[in-house]
Amino acid sequence: MTATLPRLLLGVDPDSALSLQDHLDVHGPLPSLGTGGRRLLSRRPDAGGALIEEVERAGLRGRGGASFPAASKMRAVASARGKAIVVVNATEGEPASMKDRLLLQSLPHLVLDGAVLAATAVGADEAIVCVCETNADLHSVQRAIGERRALREGVDLRFSVVPNGYVSGQESALVQHLNGGPALPTFTPPMPFQSGVQGRPTLVSNAETLAHLAMIARHGAEWYRQLGIASQPGSTLVTLSGPVAHPGVYEIEHGASLSSLIEAAGGLSATVRAVLLGGYAGTWVDARSIHGLGLSDEQLAPYGASVGAGVIALLSADACPVAETARLMQWLADQSAGQCGPCVNGLHAIAKTFAQVAAGTAGRGAAQNLARLVLLTRGRGACRHPDGAVRLAESAAQVFAEELSDHARHGACAACGRAAEFPLPAWSDPERTTRSKRTRGTAGSASKLRIGARA
């Protein structure tokens, strides 16, 4: 095979799912499950077998956002004690991302291939496909699971619907949900690979990661590396939104330029002010930097950004970036699971400050206060949610410095009242209000209480 695109999206029809037969016609059978050709699945006693080695050579990284090396994760599960289990993470809590939904809707067998292969490689006999409530209508997956029964692959496939929520797709939240608890992150360790679903070593893997794995198993690491760049080989799915002629999911090679992606999407239909990369809890990059911007972690690092889950959201110059960020910030604060004091208090304080700046009521020192709150919040939650959310605030402060100071001085601008360009789902969780650790008192009263305790 030559180094061409599409790879994952070969034969995709957004309106219907590829049947098992169509899928096999496009991609061919799985190695060694059918043909016994490459013996990729022969397990070694030490760690997970040849497939994991192939995945390692390919340099495959997770596509759920954290970009963790897939082989390391598989190996950890394979060498942990006990019967392993695989969780296919297609919850896609990121409102601006559509790729996992597209995969399950149109190419369910590619994802299931990957699930079966990963399960076999780590010694699991069960794989659970998790989608969020919004995508609970994905009958394509259930149909595909039914179609595969005849193949007798030795891996029991199941389907599970997870409550909506920005953090409910977090690994430990999925594990807790599948164990009968709430879909909220837990304190780690134990990590899922040590003790996850039913206390078993659990491989939680994003749906796209598994689709790539299915391709690597068929074509090998060298083939995979023919696309992309050395530090980030292969292709990736991205969701492009904003003022382009054809927004949607695209498969690009890592390192492809954003300009070429925009061109492939039919070009811009309005002037762009900035682009939000990685997700809503992502990084703003100024539109002036778009020209020549390469879509790989290496090339995005100078901007503090990464490809993450492949969200590329363009904001038009007609929108008010301050109002838009303030809305996102408030939403992210509301999406805090309310379990960790620094996360829920810090994010709400940042959101509040942002709203005050947008309204021109923040007073002096708002910028310093924001910077301080960012430092106070980052890295102090049980999960990475606060870290991503403060990234949004931090990058906004840099990219929209002019607009922010303008709002701080003169209040709302003419564009502030415009309808939001970035849609926000209205998920609500009645439980959250009761379990929230949000401190209603002021900082002063908290320290006074402490003095009282000492006395």
Which residues of the chain form contacts with ligand SF4 (CB under 6 A)? Answer: 167, 185, 336-340, 343-344, 381-383, 385-386
How far apart CA 326 and CA 412 sit, in angstroms, is 12
Q: Which positions from 269 through 308 interact with another protein, judged by CB under 8 A?
A: none
Cβ proximity to ligand SF4: between 171 and 297 the closer is 171
The secondary structure of residue 234, as a DSSP letter, is S
Regarding 446 and contact with another protein (CB under 8 A), the answer is: yes
For the stretch 425-434, contacts whose Cβ atoms lie closer than 8 Å and that sit 24 or more positions apart, written own/partner, are 425/95, 425/134, 425/164, 427/164, 427/165, 427/335, 429/163, 429/165, 431/182, 432/337, 432/338, 433/338
Contact flags string 15-54 toward another protein, x per CB under 8 A: ------------------------------xxx-------
Q: C-alpha angle 141/146/148, rounded to 5°?
A: 95
Cβ proximity to ligand SF4: between 274 and 382 the closer is 382
Which of ligand SF4, another protein, none binds 269 (CB below 5-8 Å, type-dependent)? Answer: none
Regarding 450 and contact with another protein (CB under 8 A), the answer is: yes
CA atoms within 13 A on the CB side of 309: 26
How far apart CA 336 and CA 344 sit, in angstroms, is 6
Tokens found for residue 290 = 């778009």
Cβ proximity to another protein: between 150 and 451 the closer is 451
How far apart CA 137 and CA 425 sit, in angstroms, is 17
Which of ligand SF4, another protein, none binds 79 (CB below 5-8 Å, type-dependent)? Answer: another protein
Regarding 82 and contact with another protein (CB under 8 A), the answer is: no
Cβ proximity to another protein: between 80 and 274 the closer is 80
Cβ proximity to ligand SF4: between 135 and 339 the closer is 339
Select the residue interacting with another protein from 19, 24, 43, 72 (CB under 8 A).
72
How far apart CA 125 and CA 119 sit, in angstroms, is 6
CA atoms within 13 A on the CB side of 82: 18
Which of another protein, ligand SF4, none binds 385 (CB below 5-8 Å, type-dependent)? Answer: ligand SF4
How far apart CA 26 and CA 24 sit, in angstroms, is 5
Tokens found for residue 412 = 């709302």
Q: How far apart are the first and last CA of the chain?
A: 76
Contact 76, 253 (CB under 8 A): no
Cβ proximity to another protein: between 239 and 377 the closer is 377
Select the residue interacting with another protein from 23, 63, 75, 385 (CB under 8 A).
75
Cβ proximity to another protein: between 176 and 232 the closer is 176
How far apart CA 370 and CA 352 sit, in angstroms, is 10
Torsion angle defined by CA atoms of residues 8, 13, 15 and 21, in that order, rounded to the nearest 10 degrees? -90
Q: What's the burial of 111, exposed, middle or buried (CB within 10 Å: 0-12/13-18/19+)?
A: buried
Q: Which positions from 363 through 402 interact with another protein, judged by CB under 8 A?
A: 376, 380-382
Regarding 179 and contact with another protein (CB under 8 A), the answer is: no
Cβ proximity to ligand SF4: between 209 and 335 the closer is 335
Which of another protein, ligand SF4, none binds 330 (CB below 5-8 Å, type-dependent)? Answer: none
Select the residue interacting with another protein from 67, 160, 194, 356 (CB under 8 A).
194
Task: Provide the minimum distance between the beta carbon of 279 and another protein in the complex, in angstroms, as a whole number.
Answer: 22
Strands (E) located in 329-445: none
Which of ligand SF4, another protein, none binds 167 (CB below 5-8 Å, type-dependent)? Answer: ligand SF4
Which of another protein, ligand SF4, none binds 450 (CB below 5-8 Å, type-dependent)? Answer: another protein
Least Cα distance to 393 among 326, 343, 314, 319 occurs for 326
Q: What's the burial of 439, exposed, middle or buried (CB within 10 Å: 0-12/13-18/19+)?
A: middle
Tokens found for residue 317 = 């110059």
Which of another protein, ligand SF4, none binds 130 (CB below 5-8 Å, type-dependent)? Answer: none
Tokens found for residue 59 = 């340099």
Regarding 453 and contact with another protein (CB under 8 A), the answer is: yes
Which of ligand SF4, another protein, none binds 338 (CB below 5-8 Å, type-dependent)? Answer: ligand SF4
Can you say whether residue 6 is alpha, beta or left, with left for phi > 0 and alpha for psi between -120 and 50 degrees?
A: beta
Contact 369, 254 (CB under 8 A): no
Task: Provide the minimum distance between the beta carbon of 367 and another protein in the complex, in angstroms, as a whole number.
Answer: 17
Cβ proximity to ligand SF4: between 74 and 390 the closer is 390
Cβ proximity to another protein: between 282 and 381 the closer is 381
Which residue type occupies 95? Answer: P
Peptide bond between residue 189 and the one before it cis (omega within 30 degrees of 0): yes
Cβ proximity to ligand SF4: between 414 and 453 the closer is 453
Select the residue interacting with another protein from 82, 341, 360, 425 (CB under 8 A).
341
Residues that bind another protein (CB under 8 A): 45-47, 72, 75-76, 79-80, 185-187, 189, 191, 194, 339-343, 345, 349, 376, 380-382, 437, 439, 443, 446-447, 449-450, 452-454
